[in-house]
Chains A and B, each alone.
Chain A
Amino acid sequence: MIAIVDYKMGNLRSVENALKRMGAEFVVTADAEQIRRADRVLLPGVGNAAEAMENLRSAGLVDVIRSLRRPVLGICVGMQVMCRCSEEGDVDCLGIFDARVKRFVPGLEVKVPHMGWNSIGNLESKLFKGIEGGEYVYFVHSYYPELCPDTIATTTHGKMFSAALKYENFYGTQFHPEKSGDVGERIIANFLKL
C-alpha cells in the first residue's frame, strides 16, 4: 500500500489523481502507524516550508518520517522539508538530505517563482530509469535546494540547483512529477518499482 501523507500542506488531489491514472492503490493519511506500515510513502506539499515543518511536528510525524526504511518520495515543499534547513521562514528541517534550501534571486532571465517546464540533467538514480537527460518537467517554486552530494538531478534557473535528491531510501523532487505529463508518470512508476 502507498501512503500519501496528509499534513495539511495544500491539495493532494493531483498526486491522488496521478496514482489513480496509474491504477495504484493508496491511502491518504496522517496516521503514524499507517505511514510506518506503508510500502511507499509520498510526502507532497505546496506552500511554506516553515509551516510544513510546523504541521509535521504537530501531527507527530517528524520522527516517523525520519525512521522510515522503505522508499519515501517528497515532492516540492515535501522535498524541501527533508533538507537540512530552509531560508523560507528560516527553519530547521528534517535533515535527511544534506542541502540547504535557498531563495531564488530575481534577475533578467530569472523570474521568481520559477514556473513552468525546465529540463533535468545529470540524472543519477533508478528513479530516472528510461528518462534521458534534457527531458522537461514541471516546476513551481521560489526556493530551491542547493547542489550537494545527495543530488541525483540538476536544473538551471539562474544557477544550477538540485532538481532531485536521494539519501538511502529517501527521494525528493523539486518538480511536480504528477503534473509533468508522461515523463512525470514514468518517474512515479519508477518510484513505485524501486
Chain B
Amino acid sequence: MVAKRIIPCLDVKDGRTVKGVNFVDLRDVGDAVELGQYYARGGADELVYLDISATREGRNTFTRLVERIADGINIPFTVGGGISSLDDAARLLDAGADKISINSAAIANPELINQIASRYGSQFVVVAIDAKCGDDGIWRATTHGGSRFTDLELFAWAREAEQRGAGEILFTSMNHDGTRKGYPCDTFARLAEELTIPIIASGGAGSVADIAQVLTEGRADAALAASIFHFGEITVGELKSELKQMNICVR
C-alpha cells in the first residue's frame, strides 16, 4: 500500500531558509540544502521549498539554490512561489525540481495548468488551493494569503484543475491555517471523494492527532507542515513512529 507522506515545507527568502530554530546536529539552519538533508535523513518523504522572495534577484538566487538542492537531496522535492508562466516552470525543471506548485497563477490563467502538464507531465504539476469557508458555508478559493475571495468554488476548481492536468492538489484551509486547531476533515474527505489525484493537506496541524485525523477521516494522501518541524516540537521521525502506532501506513 502506498504510504501516507509527511512533507516538511521550507520557506526560502533570498536564497536562505527562514523560520526555524537551530537543531543541535545542524550547522546552518538557514542553508536550504543542509536543512533539507536533515529532514530527509529524519524520514521526510518529500520536501517543499517555497520562495517568498519579493525581488527578481531573490528569484534568481532561488533558481541557483534549486540546482544545489537537486544535487544534494535524494528524495523528491517541490518548489513553489512566484511561478506564473511556462518559462518559470521550465527554468525550475531544468534546475532539477521534481514538481512545481502553482497557486494564484493558475487562478488567473487556468490554461497554464494544461500547458505545464502537457509539456512536462501531470506528475510535475501541483495545484495549490488556499480556500476559505465563507459565512454562506461555501468554500471558495482565495488569493493574497486568504484576504481576497475569488468566485471559484473549491470543489469545482479542484475538479477543473484535475481535468486540466494537475497531478496533485495541495489544499490549505485559510480558516484553519495558523490556528493549530486541526484540519477541516469533512472538506478533505469530500475532496478525496470528488478527485482521483492525490491530496496534500496543509495548514492547521497542532498535534499528531490532527495529522492522523486528516490522513484517515480526511483521506488525505500526505500532510505538509512547517512550524511543528521547524520549531523542533516534534521530529519527522517521531511523528511517523506515532502514526505507525496508530496503524497508519507510513514509510
Decide if A32 is an interface residue (CB 8 Å cutoff): no
Chain A residue numbers with a CB within 8 Å of B53 are: none
Decide if B1 is an interface residue (CB 8 Å cutoff): yes
The interface stretch among B69-77, B136-144, B149-157 is B69-77
In the assembled complex, the Cα of A87 lies from the Cα of B1 at a distance in Å of 23
Chain A residue numbers with a CB within 8 Å of B96 are: 11, 13-14, 17
Decide if A139 is an interface residue (CB 8 Å cutoff): yes
In the assembled complex, the Cα of A21 lies from the Cα of B69 at a distance in Å of 12
Nearest-Cβ distance from residue A76 to partner chain B, whole angstroms: 10
In the assembled complex, the Cα of A140 lies from the Cα of B123 at a distance in Å of 7
Nearest-Cβ distance from residue A191 to partner chain B, whole angstroms: 15
Nearest-Cβ distance from residue B222 to partner chain A, whole angstroms: 7
Number of residues of chain B lying within 8 A (CB) of chain A: 28
CB pair B123 A46 closer than 8 Å: yes
Nearest-Cβ distance from residue A39 to partner chain B, whole angstroms: 23
CB pair B74 A112 closer than 8 Å: no
CB pair A20 B71 closer than 8 Å: yes
Chain A residue numbers with a CB within 8 Å of B121 are: 10, 46-48
CB-CB nearest in chain B for A140? B123
Decide if A179 is an interface residue (CB 8 Å cutoff): yes
Contact bitstring B74-99, A, C-beta under 8 A = 1, else 0:
11100000000000000001101010
CB pair B74 A116 closer than 8 Å: no
In the assembled complex, the Cα of A96 lies from the Cα of B76 at a distance in Å of 29
CB pair B3 A17 closer than 8 Å: no
The B175-219 residues at the A interface (CB cut-off 8 A) are: 196-198
CB pair B2 A116 closer than 8 Å: yes
CB pair B94 A11 closer than 8 Å: yes
CB-CB nearest in chain A for B96? A13
- Our pick among B3, B94, B122 for the contact of A116 (Cβ within 8 Å) is B3
Known A111-B198, A115-B2, A157-B1; further 15 A-B contacts with Cβ < 8 A: A13-B94, A14-B98, A17-B71, A17-B96, A21-B72, A111-B197, A111-B221, A115-B123, A115-B198, A116-B45, A138-B75, A138-B76, A179-B98, A180-B74, A181-B75
13 residue pairs of the A-B complex, CB under 8 angstroms, read: A14-B96, A17-B71, A21-B71, A46-B120, A106-B196, A111-B2, A111-B197, A116-B45, A117-B2, A117-B45, A157-B2, A179-B74, A182-B74
Q: What 7 A-B pairs have minimum CB-CB distances, sorted nearest first?
A: A106-B196, A136-B251, A140-B123, A117-B251, A118-B2, A13-B96, A117-B3
Interface residues of B (CB under 8 A from A): 1-3, 5, 40, 45, 70-72, 74-76, 93-94, 96, 98, 120-123, 167-168, 196-198, 221-222, 251
